[in-house]
A and B are shown apart, each in its own frame.
Chain A
Amino acid sequence: MSPEYLYNIRTVCYVFASVTFILGLKKMSHPATARSGNLLAAAGMLCAILATIFINVHRTETGGIPEYEEREPRGFIYALIFAAILIGTIIGWVTARRVKMTKMPELVSMFNGMGGACAALIGLMEFPHHHGLTGSLTAIVLGLIIGSVSFSGSIIAFLKLNGTMRKPFRLPSYNIINTVVMVIVFGLGAYMVFGDSQNGLIYVLFALALLYGVMFVLPIGGADMPVVISLLNSFTGLAAAFGGFLYDNKVMLTGGILVGSAGTLLTIVMCRAMNRPLSNVIFGAFGGSEATGAQESEHGTIKDVNVTDVAVLLNYSKKVVIVPGYGLAVAQAQHVIHELELLLEERGVEVAYAIHPVAGRMPGHMNVLLAESNVDYSKLQEMEDINPAFEQTDVVLVVGANDVVNPAAKTDPSSPIYGMPILEVDKAKNIIVNKRTMNAGYAGIENLLFYNEKTSMFFGDAKKVLTELYDELKDMS
């Protein structure tokens, strides 16, 4: 086959892949088609990767006439590529299959970081080979900067979600310091493009960009990590697009730009669900003043209940609403809560789940988790639909959720979560809150709901106490 023919085959593969990316994202936006959308995009990706490996044809144009040249790399380079793909596939596949559903957000963050690192490494390798063209130098430098920021930022986000690093860490006037570092990074990048482009500097730039990624994510609280990951996700897309620009590779361009723009929109949509502008997430205000949460004023007293009390209360209710939160996920209590729900329904109690848009660590986290234990999709109700129904609810059972039911979001303008829409559980006749301890929620703020006279605290690990509750209810007939 002539090199020209091969080149055109590869182009067809790239076109196919680009179409699958667009269709895949489109299908992933609807519940019924989401899974096939993901598989379609994966098929396109496989096609693009195979075409890249097996068709190594370069097109150069001299005087408007294209010339095609097929290059035959050494066999051992192929061996290295296949070995690398094999290693990556095994590790990626096994971790993605084995990880617990509760750890999904961390994993997405980690994979995103890998993509960023890949883009940064491409920049490191290509820099010594640049041909002094401003366009390709710009693409190399920007790809390197953005990829590195995405990589180190994702690692910090991973550690924060993981619980290794929980408290936001802030240097004094960190916003100014971060801005200065950012200006230095881009200043050095510009200097390398337009001024002196000696090879050693690229490593300095790499180190600085990594540092900036760390400093960018460190001050942001753990509760905001989903937004940060989504943002870093679109950064990696951008870095991939710069790679596409560098190699004039259209599939990298489409894939990268699509993720860049779709990811940015998704980030904004997520922020909107929390009723906060993106700038607020990145530049702070969340617990911005150290004084919040430290006020130990008189809130009143809390009421403690035991299993039997809760069982009796639930047994004689007409309508129960369950509010799941991250605590449910951590305790792996999604199966027992479903069994509890079935038992209550058997007794003629109407049960629904109230899903706050940002319950858990990621939007949609609770839906995924409850779907895993076969909870009927129609029982999961979104915040806007369920809020008016709380007045007719006999018992609200809050399991491991905190900030999403905190009335301070509505009543206390000084609260860091003020303005975030919440589940208005305090309208219900009885509120039972299951928590492990009295510790504050992820945002680190006091919750006055616990001191409400309608509220009873039901302490203990969600899985353990819900199992006891289930047994107690079962014996009561």
Chain B
Amino acid sequence: MEEFFNYIGLHEELIFFIILSVFVGIEVIGGVPTVLHTPLMSGANAIHGVVIVGAIIVMLNTNPADTLSLALGFLAVVLGTLNVVGGFVVTDRMLEMFKKK
């Protein structure tokens, strides 16, 4: 139990940060009309593509001799890019339909 409290004490800022982010996420899409559910889901889908940042960090710090890690890292960056690029482009295509005439 003491370890748990220590952990909280050490990561005070992080914990506040997480709690506030959760509420921002909920507030920010409050009252979204049904018509926008699919594009919003798709847009959020593109945003979690930020995981690619992690894949790039891994790649940058990989030992160049470690072929397995390089291969996995390469794959991770490809997949992450697919998520980001595909996600934003497909969302844009959906939202294009909503433009005013």
Contact = CB atoms under 8 A, between A and B. Distances in A.
A234 B88 CA distance: 16
B41 A230 contact: yes
Contacts of A457: none
Interface stretch (A185-193, A235-243, A292-300): A235-243
Interface string A355-371: 10100001111011001
Given A31-B98, A125-B72, A259 B48 contact: yes
B71 to A, nearest CB: 9
B53 to A, nearest CB: 5
Contacts of A97: 89, 93
Interface string B13-29: 01001100111111011
A118 interface: yes
A35 B98 contact: yes
Interface of A: 17, 21-22, 24-26, 28-32, 34-35, 37-39, 41-42, 45, 48-49, 52-53, 56, 71, 73-74, 76-77, 80-81, 83-85, 87-89, 91-93, 95-97, 99, 104-105, 107-108, 110-112, 114-115, 117-119, 121-122, 124-126, 135, 147, 226, 229-230, 233-234, 236-237, 239-241, 243-247, 249-263, 265-266, 269-270, 273, 355, 357, 362-365, 367-368, 371-372, 374, 376-377, 380, 382
Contacts of B42: 104, 108
3 cross-chain pairs, A with B, having the tightest CB-CB distances, nearest first: A88-B81, A261-B25, A92-B86
A261 B23 contact: yes
29 contacts: A25-B44, A26-B29, A28-B32, A28-B95, A34-B40, A35-B98, A38-B92, A45-B49, A45-B88, A53-B56, A56-B60, A77-B62, A81-B77, A84-B59, A84-B74, A89-B85, A92-B84, A111-B46, A115-B45, A118-B52, A236-B51, A247-B54, A252-B50, A258-B21, A262-B29, A266-B41, A273-B37, A367-B97, A376-B101
A125 B67 CA distance: 11
Given A73-B60, A265-B26, A273-B34, 10 more contacts: A87-B81, A104-B42, A114-B80, A115-B79, A233-B45, A234-B44, A251-B53, A258-B47, A262-B26, A368-B39
Contact of A29 (B31, B47, B56, B80): B31
A3 to B, nearest CB: 14
B54 A246 contact: yes
Given A26-B28, A28-B39, A35 B82 contact: no
B89 A115 contact: no
A357 B55 CA distance: 37
Contact of B50 (A81, A251, A377): A251
Interface residues of B, number: 79
B92 to A, nearest CB: 6
Nearest to A121: B76
A1 to B, nearest CB: 18
B43 A41 contact: yes
Contacts of A230: 41
A25 B36 contact: no
A19 B65 CA distance: 38
Given A26-B28, A84-B81, A243-B54, A93 B86 contact: yes
A130 B98 CA distance: 47
Contacts of A21: 47, 50
A274 to B, nearest CB: 11
A368 B18 CA distance: 34
A135 B7 contact: yes
A85 to B, nearest CB: 5
Contacts of B28: 22, 25-26, 29, 258, 262
Given A259-B48, A265-B29, A273-B34, A121 B72 contact: yes
B35 interface: yes
A247 B57 contact: yes
Nearest to A82: B77
Nearest to B10: A135
Given A45-B50, A114-B82, A237-B44, A125 B37 contact: no
A259 B35 CA distance: 19
A378 B84 CA distance: 33
A34 B54 contact: no
- Which of B31, B38, B69, B95 has most A Cβ within 10 Å? B38
B38 A104 contact: yes
B90 A104 contact: yes
